[in-house]
Amino acid sequence: MVMFWVSLLAISILLYVLLDGADLGIGILFASTRGEEERHVMLSAVEPIWDGNETWLVVTGVILWGAFPVVYATLLSAFYLPLFLMLAGLILRGVAFEFRNKTQRMRWIWDLSFAGGSLIASFMQGITVGALVEGLQVTNGQYSGGDFGWLTPFAALCGIGLCLGYALLGACWLVKKCDAEVRDRAHRQIRVLAVSVLVFLVVVFVYALTEHLPILHRWIDRPYLFAFPAIGAIAAIVLGHSILSLNDRWPFYMVALIFVSAFGTLALSFWPYMIPFVVTVDEAAAPRSSLEFMFWGGAVVFPLMLLYTLVSYTVFRGKIKTTAVHY
């Protein structure tokens, strides 16, 4: 039963990163686009599937709250401020997304809010991941790292890296969905962002080596983990070829595969800990009776959500039509 909820949690986090990550990336790139028509096209590329993408963040929070309350309580104690700022950024970009089409004179404010909210949310998510990788200070089952214990150079570096990664994912989505100037600009951005992400990965690896982060010992103890970086490397090679050939379809899938390989590497490096290296899965799980009580809701609702996501992306597949863009 515990593994059932661990699997649902992993799927929810991964789907959020891939789907809403593209939305956040487009928001980050929004600031670099000045043409009003191009901005409308960028928004139209995510408008049909916008709300459904963010649902997976809600699902992640609900699963943590119900199935792993110890993790939920510890993470909220440790990351109260970054999570608050992340949610504020998500709310700001959501409001800006709806309001910018209702005004002409003040549209620049909502454009700035959309880009800024996306950047803040992405950066805070990256900081959270970085702090978890570096390790949280927990004493007697309680977080004891202080209000800003999560704010370290490594965490800030991971925040920047995730912003770059989301921007790359968003640029690849624009290439996949758009034509003309938006697609051409995104192709140019992919080249710069791909190199930036590669540099980030090298810097993070060197930092981890010099600081002797605990996660590196997992790689030594579990050599099979190198299969995931190998998959990511193959995806990066295909990505490079697709960039040079100006392919519209493959960049998004290859960057998504790179994210999947990174997620798999982290998840298996942490296992069996949910809060590395402090709280294990079994220690974090709710009583079996609670997990069994929630099982039927998860067994029914979760597949329906997956089906809805699949159908929505199938219905709105293909390139968007600029003539259908609303003003």
Q: Average pLDDT, stretch 177-189? A: 89
Q: Tell me what pLDDT residue 322 has.
A: 60
pLDDT at 27 over 50: yes
pLDDT > 90: what percent of the chain? 42
pLDDT-above-70 percentage for the chain = 98
C-alpha distances in Å from residue 5, one per residue of 8, 21, 67, 258, 284: 5, 23, 7, 25, 12
pTM recorded for the entire structure: 0.92
d(CA 26, CA 178): 12
Per-residue pLDDT band for 271 (boundaries 50, 70, 90) equals confident
Q: First vs last Cα of the chain: how many Å apart?
A: 50
Look at residue 209 and tell me whether its pLDDT is greater than 80. no
User: What per-residue confidence (pLDDT) applies to 326?
Assistant: 43
Does 305 have pLDDT greater than 60? yes
Q: Do residues 172 and 21 lie in contact, with contact meaning Cβ atoms separated by under 8 Å?
A: no
* Interval 7-25 mean pLDDT: 93
Pairing of strands 142-143, 138-139: antiparallel
The stretch 205-224 carries a mean pLDDT of 78
Separation CA 13–CA 11 (nearest Å): 6
pLDDT-derived band at 325, boundaries 50, 70, 90? very low
Per residue in 65-78, pLDDT (tens digit) is 999 998 999 898 88
